[in-house]
Amino acid sequence: MCRHIAYVGSPIPLGVVLNKPEHSLVRQSWEPRRQRYGTVNADGFGVGWYADGDPVPGRYRRRGPVWGDQTFADLARVVRSPALLAAVRDATEADPDGEAAAAPFVGGGVLFSHNGALKGWPGSMARPAAKLPPAELLGLTARSDSAFVWALVRHRLALGDALPEAVADTVREVAGAAPGSRLNLLLTDGLTIVATAWGDTLWYLAEPGRHTVVASEPYDDDPHWREVPDRTLVTATRADVLLTPLKEPTE
């Protein structure tokens, strides 16, 4: 499917996380080590980042493979940020949306990525879709399952849910409507990372007080990487990481 990564901590050039490590996200676009579904992530990529004092992130997204984009290489070398979220995409199905379907999606100062697939999409989502206002459905920036999941999360945030609560409840709702879906979500508001392990790999690397990284797979062989158990919600800052079990939905 996809590989994604988020970082919060001291300001660093984007490339320190995204293309400098031996098994960086860029390398994972053609040679992932722990990807369970798909083998090459060449159907688009994107990165979002925050400037100090500005809650609205910037983004750079494209529809093709990241390894051939010189603009990305230059951007990753010179742009510094205390927080970022990036992804490389292996599309479930061919789509006409181009870079609009590439993560990260953005709204309300939050960056979002989805690694996985909705079982039976789109028919299986009739019940969750019915809870969204028509304007939100018509305003989807892409026709992918990931864009739809992001709309569900955003709707809960607009109703006042905290980020971890909105993410956990969305995952349970979607899993209840479409059992067998893979729902590894990854979000950040620039200070906190929220993620779920639900059907695919997820890891984190923390140096308390300095930085935390949450990613689909380790970007190097540092022994301090920790794998997140399946059916788990991750809430992380630069200071600590909290793992909360997610229960299977019940009817």
Residues annotated as part of the active site: 2
DSSP string, 71-99: HHHHHHHH-EEEEEEEEEE--SS--S-GG
The candidate with the shortest Cα–Cα distance to 92, out of 236, 200, 235, is 200
In the chain the beta strands, taken as DSSP E runs, fall at 2-13, 45-49, 58-62, 80-89, 105-107, 110-117, 182-188, 193-197, 203-207, 211-215, 226-227, 232-236, 241-245
Q: What are phi and psi of 143, to 5 degrees?
A: -100, 25
Residue 134 tokens read as 């028509």
Q: Pairing state of beta strands 2-13 and 211-215?
A: antiparallel
Query: What CA–CA distance (Å, rounded) separates 79 from 148?
Result: 30
Q: Which token pair is 17?
A: 């996380």
